[in-house]
Amino acid sequence: MLRYLLAGESHGPALVGILEGFPAGLIIKNSFVDTELALRQQGYGRGPRMQSIEKDAVEFLSGFWKGRTLGSPIAFKIPNLDFELRQRTGQKAQRWQVPRPGHADFPGVVRHDFDDCAPVAERASARSTAATTAAGACAKALLAQFGITVFSHTRGVGPVLADGGDPTVARLRRIRSHRPLRCLDARAEKEMVALIDQAMEQGVTLGGEFEVLASGVPVGLGTYCHSDRRLDALLAEDVMAIPAVKAVSIGAGLEIASVDGQNAHDEMLPAEERSSGRPSVGGRPTLGSGFVRTTNRAGGLEGGITNGEPVVVRGFVKPISSQRKRLQSINLKTGKPDLAAWVRSDTCVVPAAGIVGEAVVAWRLASELTTFLGSADLKTMKRRFLEL
């Protein structure tokens, strides 16, 4: 099992994390983590802070010896460059009394007895997801040792939905870094970009949908034996905990509710029938061979256990509440109607949320894998994996 604790305020000196449970002997390159951090920062529709102030980079503080993990807790930090900028230019922390509807501002003030929304936003801010991404990158480095990859793509922005065909690992890898929204459907992506431009001009924000696919996952992670160990439930919790996510689905998700039982499952067919059927999501043959599935409606999870097909999780993101066209709210000091606070914000965070989705899915799968294989050292884990 892996555990982590993350901390840090959006405009404080740094985000920090402690990761526990990694085996000894793993190489985690800073450059790999930084590439993941950069992907989270990018994506069309990000605001001024992401575009021109931050350049997220991880600093490992403990847990390594001669470039490999020790099996002891890993500590890291990601400095907030916005903090340094504020120090240099003498900018004071912002204060505001008019909560943004949809943000944690109002319930956070009540919950923690603050007289101002700023302290709520400091920790409720999605800035914290940079640390989540760094933790997830460490998990990805471990999963890579077992041939497991975790990638995401944007399925929708506002009302525009992609029709991108089969999200194979090769295609997901290809669109990873040079497409504005990491969308498999180039035509829909153009429409999405135009929609974001329009929203930016109007001072409003846009939500959407991302999908995370984990390929190469062995059969048998998770269990149906108790509700809090079902892997589908745990993944749903992980993705739901990403700021701005309002719904999560596994595999075909919501679409399953409206079809009959003949069209809701993934039949197991003799291996030779694979070529005649629709390729499975992720395009990877089922482990254990002898049979194949030509669909993956279950999203790689049956009874809360991985079944060897790619694990597929979708997240549905609301349009973020900070927007230039300010919403009606109440001034907490005067009790009078007022317009919600706004200083600067992103317009669309769907691709960024997809990268965070990858991070949390990777973390959960790596955690389950260490439970499955033991985690004292990488060599033993690999030997046990080959015996599966």
Binding footprint of ligand EPS on the chain (CB under 6 A): 10, 47, 49-50, 54, 82, 121, 125-127, 129-130, 322, 344-346
What residues are paired with 19 via a beta bridge? Answer: 4, 74
Q: How far apart are CA 380 and CA 97, in angstroms?
A: 56
Minimum distance of ligand EPS from residue 315's CB (angstroms): 15
Q: How far apart are CA 214 and CA 332, in angstroms?
A: 45
Minimum distance of ligand EPS from residue 118's CB (angstroms): 10
Instruction: Evaluate whether 145 touches 23 at the Cβ level (below 8 Å).
Output: no
Q: Closest CB to ligand EPS among 10 and 149?
A: 10
| Cα torsion 104, 6, 210, 305: sign | negative
Residue in the structure block whose two tokens are 């460059």: 81
Instruction: Evaluate whether 47 touches 53 at the Cβ level (below 8 Å).
Output: no
Q: Closest CB to ligand EPS among 130 and 281?
A: 130
Q: Closest CB to ligand EPS among 126 and 200?
A: 126
Minimum distance of ligand EPS from residue 342's CB (angstroms): 10
Q: Closest CB to ligand EPS among 146 and 316?
A: 316
Minimum distance of ligand EPS from residue 102's CB (angstroms): 11
Q: Closest CB to ligand EPS among 213 and 355?
A: 355
Angle at 311 between CA 18 and CA 318, to 5 degrees: 70
Minimum distance of ligand EPS from residue 125's CB (angstroms): 4
Could you tell me where the beta strands, DSSP code E, fall in the chain? Answer: 3-7, 14-20, 59-62, 64-65, 68-69, 74-79, 149-157, 160-161, 208-215, 245-250, 268-270, 291-293, 301-302, 305-306, 311-317, 328-330, 337-339
The residues, any chain, with a CB within 8 Å of residue 303's CB and separated by 6 or more, are 224, 230
Q: Closest CB to ligand EPS among 39 and 148?
A: 39
Minimum distance of ligand EPS from residue 320's CB (angstroms): 7
Q: Is 44 helix (H, G, I), strand (E, B) or coil?
A: coil
Q: Closest CB to ligand EPS among 10 and 295?
A: 10
Minimum distance of ligand EPS from residue 56's CB (angstroms): 7
| Cα torsion 128, 133, 136, 142: sign | negative
What burial class does residue 239 get, using C-beta atoms within 10 Å of its C-beta: 0-12 exposed, 13-18 middle, 19+ buried?
buried
Minimum distance of ligand EPS from residue 103's CB (angstroms): 7
Q: Closest CB to ligand EPS among 22 and 210?
A: 210
What residues are paired with 18 via a beta bridge? Answer: 5, 75
